[in-house]
Amino acid sequence: MLTVSLVPRPLAFQRNARYSTPEKANSWAEVTGYNNFYEFGTGKEDPAQHAGRLRTRPWTVVVDDECAAPGRFALEDILKPHPLEERIYRLRCVEAWSMVIPWIGFALADLIRRFEPTSRAKYVEFTTLHDPKQMPGQRHDVLDWPYVEGLRLDEALHPLAILAIGLYGKELPNQNGAPLRLVVPWKYGFKSIKSIVRIRFTEAMPRTSWALSAPREYGFFANVNPEVDHPRWSQKTERRIGSSNFLARQPTLPFNGYGDEVAGLYRGMNLARHF
């Protein structure tokens, strides 16, 4: 019988202080026990319970369309040239809760440049594995599978956007998106797509899963914005997971507190319309 190690392996990395919040990180138990990963169910504890069956090795990532160096790559080849960094980021979920997570990863921009996007490439689209045998949540029509997310190319090239392969110094547990997931800290958590199998450069804006399923509720940009409420709830405050007072809420910051870095990407745009 094939046995798979369920103990995440440690990684070698350097701390990136410039891009880390001094806030206290959530515990390992919180970060790996309270998740959104609808491929394994819609409950917060479903991913930790069911994602163990996902096989993350071997893993292939296809990079294609508007780039000069497309191909099909083994995960190891995707990762090889990139030194790993630890970055402690806030994650603000669209459901008005937040966490602080010590990710291990590398700049998405460094990976994108290797594949030489053409002058027609305006967006980057990411796709999660589609395999209902391993991902039981995909047997239900909660979303139009596979999960698709996207960024404008200039957003994807911003140094805060990373691809993560670990957290808390170890390889990503499956429930957090092993073996490769996006982390875009100034956007609502749903943009940070998990278990990526395809990265595609496109001229047209990608048709992303949440925007397709509920266009009035979830836009393409999904920048954290306390001034634009979700149609069914306010985005002005958030609950920090693990806080001793369950009712305590803190103000949500524009761009999740990363405005000094990223607001310039949206100069001149009406962010209430392009939410």
Binding segment for ligand MTE among 9-17, 66-74, 188-196, 243-251 (CB under 6 A)? 188-196
CB of 150 to ligand MTE, least distance (A): 13
* Cβ atoms 233, 224 nearer than 8 A: no
Among positions 16-35, residues that touch ligand MTE (CB under 6 A) are: 35
36 binds ligand MTE (CB under 6 A): yes
Nearer to ligand MTE, 117 or 173 (CB): 173
d(CA 77, CA 122): 25
194 touching ligand MTE, by CB under 6 A? yes
Instruction: Return the residue of 13, 38, 103, 201 that touches ligand MTE, per CB under 6 A.
Output: 38
Number of residues that bind ligand MTE (CB under 6 A): 17
Q: Is residue 39 at the binding interface for ligand MTE, with CB under 6 A as the rule?
A: yes
Give the nearest distance from C-beta 81 to ligand MTE in angstroms: 25
Parallel, antiparallel, or unpaired for β 60-65 and 196-202?
parallel
Does position 193 interact with ligand MTE (CB under 6 A)? The reply is: yes
The neighbour count for residue 56, using CB atoms within 10 Å, is 18
Which residues partner with 64 through β-bridges? 200
Q: Quote the least distance from Cβ 54 to ligand MTE, whole Å.
A: 11
SS3 33: helix
Report helix, strand or coil for 182.
strand
Residue 58: exposure state from Cβ atoms within 10 A (0-12, 13-18, ≥19): exposed
Stretch that binds ligand MTE, among 73-81, 104-112, 186-194, 223-231 (CB under 6 A): 186-194
Residue 27, phi-psi category: left (phi > 0), alpha (psi -120 to 50), beta (remainder):
beta
Q: Which lies closer to ligand MTE via its Cβ, residue 117 or residue 128? A: 128
Toward ligand MTE, which CB reaches closer, 195 or 202? 195
Pick one of 41, 105, 179, 189: the residue that binds ligand MTE (CB under 6 A). 189
* 167 close to 180: Cβ distance less than 8 angstroms: no
Kindly identify the residues of this chain, within the stretch 68-107, that bind ligand MTE according to CB under 6 A: 91, 93
Q: Is 223 in the site for ligand MTE (CB under 6 A)?
A: no
Half-sphere exposure of 149 (CA within 13 A, CB side): 23
Residue that the structure tokens 């804006």 belong to = 205
Element (H or E) spanning 46, and its range? Answer: helix 46-50
Report the site for ligand MTE in 106-165 (rule: CB under 6 A). 128, 147
**CB-CB contact of 156 with 124 (8 Å):** yes
Q: Which residues make up the interface to ligand MTE (CB under 6 A)? A: 35-39, 91, 93, 128, 147, 176-177, 189-190, 192-195
